[in-house]
Structure 1
Amino acid sequence: MEIKELKHRLRLSEVIAHYGLCPDKHGRLLCPFHADKTPSLQLYPKTNTFCCFSTNCNAGTGDVIRFIELMDRCSTHEAIMKAKTLIGVTSAVPAVLPVAASSADPLEREAVLTKVFGSFRKALPASRKATDYLQGRGLDYRQHECGYNSGGLHVESKNHHLVTSMVKHGLLKAKPAGGYSVWAKDCVIFPLKDAAGKIVSLYGRSITNNNDQRHFYMTGRTGLYPCYPAPVTTKLILTESILDAASLLQQPAIAAQYSVLALYGTNGLTEEHQQAIIKLPALCEILFILDGDEAGRAATIKHAQTLSGLLPHVQFTQVVLPDGEDVNSVLQSHDDAQVLVDLVEQRQPIEFFVSIENKQAPVIPIPTTIDDRLHTANPELLVYESALLQVTVLGGVRLTGLDRLRVTLKVEHKQGLFLPVRHSLDLYHHGQVQQLVQLVTETFDMNGQAVVTLVAQLTGALESYRAQRLERLQSKPESKPALTPAQRQAAIQYLQQPNLLRRTSDDIGQSGIVGEEMNRLIAYLVYSSRRQATPLHVMFLGASGSGKTYLQEKVSDLVPAEEKIEITQVTENAFYYFRQDELKHKLLLIEDLDGAESSLYPLRELQSKKRISKTVTIKDTKGNLKTITVVVEGPVSVSGCTTREKLYEDNANRCLLLYVDGSAEQDGRIMAYQTRASAGQIDQGKEQAIKSLLRNVQQVLQPVRVVSPYAQHITLPSEIFKPRRTMTLLLAFIEAVTFYHQYQRVQKKDGSGQPYIETTPEDIRAALHLLKEVLFSKGDELAKATRIFLEQLKALLAAEGKDSFTAREIRQQLRIAPGTLKRYLSELERYGYLKGSGNRYRHYEYTIIRMDEYEALKSSIDSQLQAIVARIEVKPASPVVQ
C-alpha cells in the first residue's frame, strides 16, 4: 500500500481514539508530547493533520504517521507498519505495538496487576469522593471487588519499585518533558479475570467525567468481569456494562440463581465471552439485560443470534428496560432494590421461529454502489460533501427501525464564511426536513432548491449505506467448498473402479480405523445415503469403553464437515430452532443418545416423516397474538451411540444396529496400532490423503432415484422379529449399495422423463452379505450383549466338559461385574435359555437348556438368504412402469 493511500484511509481521529485521547469540541487537546496544562494541540480533520502551538514542544506539525511515531517513540517504518494494522492491513513484518501492549511474560503481568489492584483496593475506603460516587450509583463497595486509582500510586516512596513495571504494562506513560501520565486516573477500578481466576486486565470508570471519556480499558484487553462463569451455571445474565453487572450481583436473590457476565458495551461480545459461554455444559438459559435504547435493543437481537448459532439448545430471554434506562439507573431510581429481581422474573423469550407463511426473509433492495460523496471510513462520523457544503452525520445512522432515519447533522460551509449549523431530525419527517432546509438556506444565504436537492441526495446516500450495512449483518448461506476439476475427476474414477466395496473397505481401514471391517463399510454406506430421498439411519451398540463413539467419529470424519452436524447434548425443542432447510440431507451425529433423551420424539419424526412441525403463539409488531407453524424439513441421516438398546427401542427399530467388536482380538489390534502410531510407524500423510479422497467421493455422489426390479423376489427369513420395518431397512440398504455404484450403472429415464438407475443381483448379494450379522441380531430375541455372554458361556462349559455352573464360578472366570452378571442370568432364565436348580442363596446351579440353538438360528437365516440370491439369479427382473 502506498503511503498516500495509507494516510487517506487512516483518519487522525481514529489514531487519537486508539491512544485513549479525547479532543474537545473545537478539536483541541492537551498535547501528549510535553507537559501541557492548557490544550495546545490542534487537530485539522480536513487535512488529517495536527499542530502543537506550544513553544515548549518539538512536535510541530505532522500527519497520522508522525503522530504514531511520536507516541510510540519508534522509527518511521515502524509507525507505517503500526498504521497498517490500525486499518486492518496485514503485513509480513509484525506491527510495532506500544510498550503497554507487550506482555512477553504473562506471569509478570499477572503479578504486577494483582499488586497494583491490591493497592487500589486499599485506597478506595480512604477516598471520600470515590465511596460517595459508588454510593450515588447504588453500589456498596464492600460487596464488590473494586478499588480506586487516585493517580498517586507511583509517587509514594514505598511503590517506587513498581514504576518500571507499571510503565511496561501500560499503567503509566512517560512524558517527553518528564513525569508520567496515569492510566484511568480518578477512576474506580474493577479487575478482569481469566479462566483460572487470575487478574489479567483492569477496567476503570471515571468518577469525574460522565460525558466524554468515561470508560478505560488497558491496551490488549483480556479477561472477563466478574470472572469466568462457573461450570455448573444453568442460567446466565449478560449486561451491557460492568456497573450493571455489579448492580445485579449485589442482589442475593439474583446472585443465588444466576451467573452474571458483563459485556464491554453494545459491541462488546468478544471471542473470549463466546468461548467462556459455550464451555458451560449445564447452561440452559441466557438472559440479556442491555440498555433501554435502540442500540441496546439492536445489540440484544444481534448477540442472541450469534450465540444461538453456537448454542442452539439454549433458551434466550430478555428484560426490556424503560426507554433511556440501564440496570444501574433503575437501581438508583428505586428505593427498593427488589425492582431488579422483579424485572428478571418478568423476562420475555427472544423468538427465533420461522413461519411457513413467510419462509423467505424480506429482501432489502441493495444498490450496487453508494454515492461516492458519502465518506464512510468511520461509521460513527459519516461525511457527505457537496460543492459548497460539508455535512457530517454525528453518531452515524441506526440500523434498526427502517420506518425512520433519525440523524444529527453538522452542516459547514467549505469556505468557513459562516458558523456551522447543527440539527437533529428524522429525514423521513417532512416538517423536520422543511425546518432544516429553511435553517440552512437562511444561515448560508443559499438557494432553497439547491438545499432541497442536497438533503434529498444525502437521504438517498444514507439509505444505500444503511441497506448495505444490514446486508452485511445478515447471515450468509453456507457455501460448500467446490472440488477442483482434478479432485472431481479422481473421485469419479475411484467410483468407477471394479470391486468398489472391497476397495472402499480397505481404504477406510487405511484411513486409521482398525478392524470392524463390516461395521465401518456399512456405516459409510449409510452416511452416503443422506443425499437420497429416504436416507438410512444407524445405531452403534456396545458396552461402555468398547469404542462406539470412536468408530462413529472416525467414519463420520470421511464425510465433508459442511454436510454433518455433531451433537453432544440436545434439548427437547432444539430441533425446532434450526432453519427450515438447515437439516436437509445432513448427517446428524449424536455422541450418546442419553444426551438426546428429551428430544427422541422429534428425532423419530425426522427419521420417519422427514419433517417436524410445531405450532406456537407469538406477538406481531403491534402486540397482537398470532399463531404460526414452525417447520423444519428433512430428510436426514441419523447416527447415534448407546449402551442401552432396549431403552431406545423405538429409535432402534428405525436404524441398522451395529454392535462393535469387543473381543480380545480387537483389543490386540487396536493396541498394536496405538503402539505403532506412538513409535512413528504410521504414515499420517497417507491417512490424511485417503480421508480427503473419500470425502471427495461423498461430494461427487449425486441424488438419483434407485429402482430395484428384483425387489419382489426378496423375502425376509421367518425368524426375523418386526419384519415390516426390517424389510424397509433391508430394501433401503440395497438401494444405498446401488446408489454408491451410480457411476457404474446405466442411467435410464421413466415415462415422465425422470432419471433412475437399477439395482443388480450383485448389489443384492453384497447387501445381504454385509447385513448378515444385522439380520442375525434382528432374528434373536436376546439383546446382543446377552447373546455374546451366552455364547462365551457355552464355549467355556464345552472347554471344561461341564453341564452346569454357578454364578460365582462364571463371574471369576469371565471377570464380569456382579450386577451385569445378574442381569444376564435373569434375562436368560426369563427367556428359557437357562434352568436353575438348588437353593437360591447357596449352591444355586444353572444348566443351559440347548447348546446349539444360536447356530441353528444362524444356519436357518443363512440358508434363506442364499435361497434369495439363488432365486434372483434365476428369476427375471420386473419391468419398470413407464
Structure 2
Amino acid sequence: MVTWRSKTSLPMEIKELKARLSLAEVVAHYGLRPDKHQRLLCPFHDDKTPSLQLYPKTDTFCCFSTNCHAGTGDVIRFIELMDKCSTHEAIIKAKSLIGGALPQPAVPAAPAQPPTDPLEREAVLNKVFSSFKKALPASRKAVDYLQGRGLDYKQHECGYNSGGLHVESKNHHLVTSMVTYGLLKPRAAGGYSVWAKDCVIFPLKDVQHKIVSLYGRSIFNNSDQRHFYMTGRTGLYPGYPAPATTKLILTESIIDAASLLQQPAIAAQYSVLALYGTNGLTDEHQQAIITLAALDEMIFMLDADEAGKAATIKHAQTLSGLLPNVQFTHVPLPDGEDVNSVLQSHDDPQVLADLIAQRQPLHFSFSIESKTPSVIPIPVLQTNERLNTANPELLVYDGVLLQVTVLGGVRLTGLDRLRVTLKVEHRQGMFLPVRHSLDLYNHGQVQQLVSLVTETFDMNGQAVVTLVAQLTGALESYRAQRLERLQAKPESKPALTPAQRQAAIQYLQQPHLLRRTSEDIGQSGIVGEEMNRLIAYLVYSSRRQATPLHVMFLGASGSGKTYLQEKVSELIPAEEKIEITQVTENAFYYFRQDELKHKLLLIEDLDGAESALYPLRELQSKKRISKTVTIKDTKGNLKTITVVVEGPVSVSGCTTREKLYEDNANRCLLLYVDGSAEQDGRIMAYQTKLSAGQVDHGKEQAIKSLLRSVQQVLQPVRVVNPYAQHITLPSEIFKPRRTMTLLLAFIEAVTFYHQYQRAQKKDGSGQPYIETTPADITAAFHLLKEVLFSKGDELAKATRNFLEQLKALLAVEGKDSFTAREIRQQLRIAPATLKRYLSELERYGYLKGSGNRYRHYEYTIARADEYEVLKSSIDSQLQAILVKIKERSGRSVVQ
C-alpha cells in the first residue's frame, strides 16, 4: 500500500486521505458548481452541455463525453487533471486542502484560498493586466488570433499573457503576489506553472469598474481547455451595466460581447453583458441586472445550438421572476452560429446590428395544448427529476416511500403502448419487493398493479394510483426525449475560414471575372470545352437563386459528356449536390420536405432515371412535387396524406438521345460536347502528361478549393434586368417561349455571379436587388450563341455535325455528289448510324438522291451555305439587340 511521510507527520495512507477529503470540497475549491443532479460542465474539454457526473457517495466522477480523456476517477485524479500535475503533486495538494502537514518544497507554496485584502488584490491585478496589455501589440500570434476572430485589439481593453512576465519582471514582490493570487503556481521540482499561458486576457470588473478578476482565452483553440478564470471568479465583462440602461444584450461568451461592443451602432443603443457560458448566469449577474431601474428589454443573443437555445429559455425563466415588467426578446442567429462566427463570416459588420433589429419576442412558457408554436422550440423534453436515467437499461424512479426500478428500460417503438417490467421496493425495507410486467396504457393491468402494491405494502390505494400516474408521465417524457435525440440532424455546412472567405470575395471582385473563371476551370483538370465548362459552372451557381437553370450534356457514347459533368460538379461544395446514378419512379417523393432545396441534382445518365422523369420535370418547372397516398393508421383505418417535396433545384444530366427526352431537354440549356479530332488530341496529350507525372495535382486541388469557396460566398439576391424589354429572339428559333425563359434566366445567372461587382439597391418595399448591365447581356449572348444556333436548327446536333463534315469533305475533294460507301469509308461511321443520318437529311430535304436505290445510289447536297445563312441571321439579330441596349444605356458595350 502506498504511503508517504513528512518530517512532522505520521504516515497517512491514500485511503485515509480520500476518506477525509470529499470530491465536493475539491470541486468547490476550483470554483465549480454542480447542478441539482450533481452534473457540471466538464472542465477537461470544451463542453456545451453538462457531461461530468459526480457521485458523492463514492467520491468519484465520470465524464460521459466521447471527446474527453478524463474518464472515471477519484479526488486525486481530479486534482491531477485540473492542475495538470503528477500524482505525487496531486497528493500534496490534497493534503493541503485538508490541513495535513506538507513536505516543504524549494519554493513557497500558494495558499489554498487567496487572502481577503481587496486593495492588495486590486493593485496586483492592475499591475499584471497593465503588463499584459503592453505585451499584446508585440505578439504577432495574439494579434493574428484576434484579427482571425474579427476583433481589433485597439478597440478593446485586453492583453496577452505570454507566460514570461515573472521571468522578465525584476520586481520579486510582484512574483510573490502573483503566486498569492493564483497567477503563478510553484512546482515541486522548481519553477512555476503559469495561469492562462498563451491566452488573450480580458478584465472582469466590479460595480465600481475596478478590475477584480481576469479571464483568459487560449489563442490555440486546444480541445482540452480554452477558457481560464481565476480562482474565486468575481466581476463582470465588460463591467456592470450603466444605471441608465434601457436595453441589455446578454451573450454567451466574452468574445461574443467584444464582437458587439466593437460596433458603434450597437454600443450606442444597447448595453452588453457577457455570461460565462450556457450555465454562467451567476448571482452577480442577476444582482447587477435587477438594479437597473430603467431597464425595459432583455435581449438574449446566445449561440444558435441546442445548448444555447436551452440556456436562453432557462435564464429567461429565471430573470422573468425577478423582472416582471421587462420585455424578453431573442436574436435568431443562423443555425450552429454564434455572435463572433457571424461577424467572421460577413464582410459588413452591420449584419450584427441588422440581426438585433430583427429580434423576436421570447416565449418561454410552454404548454402541451398550445396551438401556436413558440419562437424558440424546446430543445429536449425535460425528464422528471425523480427519474434516474443514468443507465438506460435500469431506470430508477424515486417515489419517496417507494422506489420503482424499470428493469430493461422502455422500448422506443410502438408509441401506442408502454410495456415495462417493474421492481417496486419499500424504502424502509420492511417488505419483500414486488415484481410485475404490464402495459402502463392498459387500464386493467394498471389496476392489478395498484392492488398488488397496496396489499403488499399496506398503503393507501389513491397514493399508489398517483405514484403510477407520475411514473407513467416520467417514462413518457424520457421516451420522447430519446426519440428526439435519434432524429437525424441536418448536416451542418463546413464554414469557411476567414482567410478562405476573404480570398473568395477578392476573386469575385477582381475584373475579367468570367475569363479568369474559365481559365481556372481549365487549370482544375478540364481539357478543352471552354464554352461548355463555363456555361455549366454558371448554371450550377444558379442553384442558390429562386429560379435555377438546368443543363443537359449531349454527345455520342464515349465522347466525354459524363466526365465533363463530373469534373465541373467537383467545383461545387459536396453538401450542396446530390449525385444520382439510378433512381426509381417514386424515389423523389421520399426525400424530406426541404432536403432538395437549392441543391444540384447530377444524373449520370438519363436512361437510369427514365421512370422518374415526370417528377423531375415538375421539380424543374413548378419547383415542388406532391403525391397523395393512402396509408393505414395504427388502428387499421385508411387515411389519405399528401407528401410534398420542395424545390427549387438545378438539374444536370447526360444522354445520347436528345429526341427521346425532348420534354426534359426543352427545360434545359443543351450543351453538345466537343467530339472533334482536335479535342481528341488535347485529351490524349493531357492523359500522356498525367501518366508521365507532369500534372501538378496540388495546383489543381488548390483551384478546385478556391472555386468551391467562391460558391459558398455567393448569396441569394434578386436580379432585375432593366433591358429585358429590348431583348427579342430571332424568328428562326424553335419553341421561342421556353428559349426566351432560358436566355433571360442565363443573363440573370451571369449578373448573379458578378454580385460583388454590382451595387446593391433597394426597391420600394425595402427588398435588396442588383441590376443587370449591358456587359452581362453581351457575355450571355457570347456564351449562348452556339446554344441559340442549335435552337434555330431543325436538325439534331449530331446530324448537323455530320452534314457540316460532309460539306467540308466534298469541298476539299471538289465533288458535288457521293455514295454512302464512299462517305462511310472516309468518315469511318457505323453503317446503321450513317443510314440514320442520310435518311434524316433526305427526309428534311438537305440531300437529294438519284439513281437505283440498290446500286450506285448517289446523293447531292441541296444547299451548301444554308447553315452559314442561319447563323449569320441569328448573329445579326443578336448584334442589333446589343446596339439597342447600348443606345439605351449610353455606355459602351464590350464586344
2:435 partner SS: strand
User: Cα distance, 1:751 vs. partner?
Assistant: 1.5
Number of the residue aligned with 1:781: 794
Provide the C-alpha distance between the structure 1 equivalents of 2:739 and 2:802, rounded to a whole number of angstroms: 25
2:525 partner SS: coil
Provide the C-alpha distance between the structure 1 equivalents of 2:781 and 2:562, rounded to a whole number of angstroms: 26
Q: 1:716 touches 1:723 (CA, 8 Å); kept in 2?
A: yes
| Greater Cα offset, 531-540 or 670-679 | 670-679
1:771 partner SS: helix
Alignment of 1:137-152 (within 5 A): none
1:760-818: CA deviation from partner (whole Å, max 9, x where unpaired) = 00000000000011111111111111111111111111222222111111111111100
Number of the residue aligned with 1:710: 723
Provide the C-alpha distance between the structure 1 equivalents of 2:537 and 2:789, rounded to a whole number of angstroms: 21
Provide the C-alpha distance between the structure 1 equivalents of 2:619 and 2:814, rounded to a whole number of angstroms: 52
Letter in structure 1 aligned against 2:506: Q
Number of the residue aligned with 1:600: 613
Number of the residue aligned with 1:848: 861
User: Cα distance, 1:672 vs. partner?
Assistant: 1.7
Q: 1:807 touches 1:845 (CA, 8 Å); kept in 2?
A: yes
Note if 1:817 corresponds to 2:817.
no
- Number of corresponding residues: 527
Number of the residue aligned with 2:482: 469
Q: 1:366 touches 1:467 (CA, 8 Å); kept in 2?
A: no
Number of the residue aligned with 1:175: none
User: Cα distance, 1:502 vs. partner?
Assistant: 0.8
Letter in structure 1 aligned against 2:843: R
Stretches of structure 2 that go unaligned for 5 or more consecutive residues are 1-14, 16-54, 59-70, 73-370
Alignment of 1:87-486 (within 5 A): 367=380, 369-371=382-384, 374-376=387-389, 378-384=391-397, 390-412=403-425, 418-428=431-441, 432-433=445-446, 435-437=448-450, 439-440=452-453, 442-444=455-457, 455=468, 458-486=471-499
Letter in structure 2 aligned against 1:508: I
Among 557, 560, 566, the residue aligned to 1:553: 566
1:594-641: CA deviation from partner (whole Å, max 9, x where unpaired) = 122222222222222222233333334444433333332222211111
Letter in structure 2 aligned against 1:535: P
Number of the residue aligned with 1:499: 512
Q: 1:364 touches 1:467 (CA, 8 Å); kept in 2?
A: no
1:875 partner SS: helix
Number of the residue aligned with 2:555: 542
Q: 1:710 touches 1:877 (CA, 8 Å); kept in 2?
A: no
| Greater Cα offset, 444-453 or 459-468 | 444-453
User: Cα distance, 1:581 vs. partner?
Assistant: 2.2
Note if 1:749 corresponds to 2:724.
no
Number of the residue aligned with 1:685: 698
Note if 1:806 corresponds to 2:824.
no
2:810 partner SS: helix
Letter in structure 2 aligned against 1:603: L
1:122-177: CA deviation from partner (whole Å, max 9, x where unpaired) = xxxxxxxxxxxxxxxxxxxxxxxxxxxxxxxxxxxxxxxxxxxxxxxxxxxxxxxx
1:632-664: CA deviation from partner (whole Å, max 9, x where unpaired) = 222221111111111111211111110001111
Number of the residue aligned with 1:862: 875
Letter in structure 1 aligned against 2:552: M
Provide the C-alpha distance between the structure 1 equivalents of 2:543 and 2:451, rounded to a whole number of angstroms: 66
Letter in structure 1 aligned against 2:423: K
User: Cα distance, 1:517 vs. partner?
Assistant: 0.7
Provide the C-alpha distance between the structure 2 equivalents of 1:367 and 1:863, rounded to a whole number of angstroms: 66
Say if 1:433 and 1:552 are closer, same or farther in 2 by CA, change over 3 A: same
Say if 1:575 and 1:877 are closer, same or farther in 2 by CA, change over 3 A: farther
Say if 1:748 and 1:823 are closer, same or farther in 2 by CA, change over 3 A: same
Q: 1:366 touches 1:464 (CA, 8 Å); kept in 2?
A: no
User: Cα distance, 1:715 vs. partner?
Assistant: 1.7
Say if 1:621 and 1:442 are closer, same or farther in 2 by CA, change over 3 A: closer
Question: What is the aligned-residue RMSD (CA, Å)?
Answer: 3.3
Q: 2:381 touches 2:480 (CA, 8 Å); kept in 1?
A: no
User: Cα distance, 1:686 vs. partner?
Assistant: 2.0
Note if 1:769 corresponds to 2:779.
no
Say if 1:851 and 1:507 are closer, same or farther in 2 by CA, change over 3 A: same
1:661-710: CA deviation from partner (whole Å, max 9, x where unpaired) = 11111112112222222222222222222212212211221111111111
Provide the C-alpha distance between the structure 2 equivalents of 1:517 and 1:827, rounded to a whole number of angstroms: 30
Provide the C-alpha distance between the structure 2 equivalents of 1:483 and 1:769, rounded to a whole number of angstroms: 33
1:644 partner SS: coil
Provide the C-alpha distance between the structure 2 equivalents of 1:845 and 1:383, rounded to a whole number of angstroms: 95
Q: 1:367 touches 1:464 (CA, 8 Å); kept in 2?
A: no
Note if 1:512 corresponds to 2:529.
no
2:874 partner SS: helix
Q: 1:709 touches 1:877 (CA, 8 Å); kept in 2?
A: no
Alignment of 1:14-25 (within 5 A): none
Stretches of structure 1 that go unaligned for 5 or more consecutive residues are 5-45, 50-78, 81-357
Q: 1:394 touches 1:407 (CA, 8 Å); kept in 2?
A: yes
Provide the C-alpha distance between the structure 2 equivalents of 1:484 and 1:868, rounded to a whole number of angstroms: 44
Provide the C-alpha distance between the structure 2 equivalents of 1:876 and 1:723, rounded to a whole number of angstroms: 26
Q: 2:381 touches 2:481 (CA, 8 Å); kept in 1?
A: no
TM-score with structure 1 setting the length: 0.56
User: Cα distance, 1:454 vs. partner?
Assistant: 5.4
Q: 1:615 touches 1:628 (CA, 8 Å); kept in 2?
A: yes
2:630 partner SS: strand
Number of the residue aligned with 2:307: none
Say if 1:367 and 1:543 are closer, same or farther in 2 by CA, change over 3 A: closer
Q: 2:588 touches 2:615 (CA, 8 Å); kept in 1?
A: yes
Provide the C-alpha distance between the structure 2 equivalents of 1:839 and 1:741, rounded to a whole number of angstroms: 61
Provide the C-alpha distance between the structure 2 equivalents of 1:877 and 1:710, rounded to a whole number of angstroms: 12
User: Cα distance, 1:721 vs. partner?
Assistant: 1.6
- Percent sequence identity over aligned pairs: 89
Number of the residue aligned with 1:112: none
Q: 2:403 touches 2:427 (CA, 8 Å); kept in 1?
A: yes
2:484 partner SS: helix
1:507 partner SS: helix
Number of the residue aligned with 2:689: 676
Say if 1:544 and 1:411 are closer, same or farther in 2 by CA, change over 3 A: same
2:490 partner SS: coil
Among 533, 536, 539, the residue aligned to 2:546: 533
Q: 1:584 touches 1:635 (CA, 8 Å); kept in 2?
A: yes
Say if 1:848 and 1:371 are closer, same or farther in 2 by CA, change over 3 A: same
Number of the residue aligned with 2:592: 579
Provide the C-alpha distance between the structure 2 equivalents of 1:743 and 1:682, rounded to a whole number of angstroms: 33
Letter in structure 1 aligned against 2:394: L
Number of the residue aligned with 2:365: none
User: Cα distance, 1:573 vs. partner?
Assistant: 2.4
1:374-411: CA deviation from partner (whole Å, max 9, x where unpaired) = 45455333344567755331232122344543311123
1:546-578: CA deviation from partner (whole Å, max 9, x where unpaired) = 011111111112112222222222222222222
Alignment of 1:645-660 (within 5 A): 645-660=658-673
1:195-234: CA deviation from partner (whole Å, max 9, x where unpaired) = xxxxxxxxxxxxxxxxxxxxxxxxxxxxxxxxxxxxxxxx
Provide the C-alpha distance between the structure 2 equivalents of 1:494 and 1:640, rounded to a whole number of angstroms: 29
Letter in structure 2 aligned against 1:483: L
Note if 1:625 corresponds to 2:662.
no
Number of the residue aligned with 2:501: 488
Note if 1:719 corresponds to 2:728.
no
Provide the C-alpha distance between the structure 2 equivalents of 1:784 and 1:465, rounded to a whole number of angstroms: 64
Provide the C-alpha distance between the structure 1 equivalents of 2:876 and 2:492, rounded to a whole number of angstroms: 49
User: Cα distance, 1:741 vs. partner?
Assistant: 0.6
Provide the C-alpha distance between the structure 2 equivalents of 1:730 and 1:685, rounded to a whole number of angstroms: 37
Provide the C-alpha distance between the structure 2 equivalents of 1:488 and 1:403, rounded to a whole number of angstroms: 51
Letter in structure 1 aligned against 2:731: S
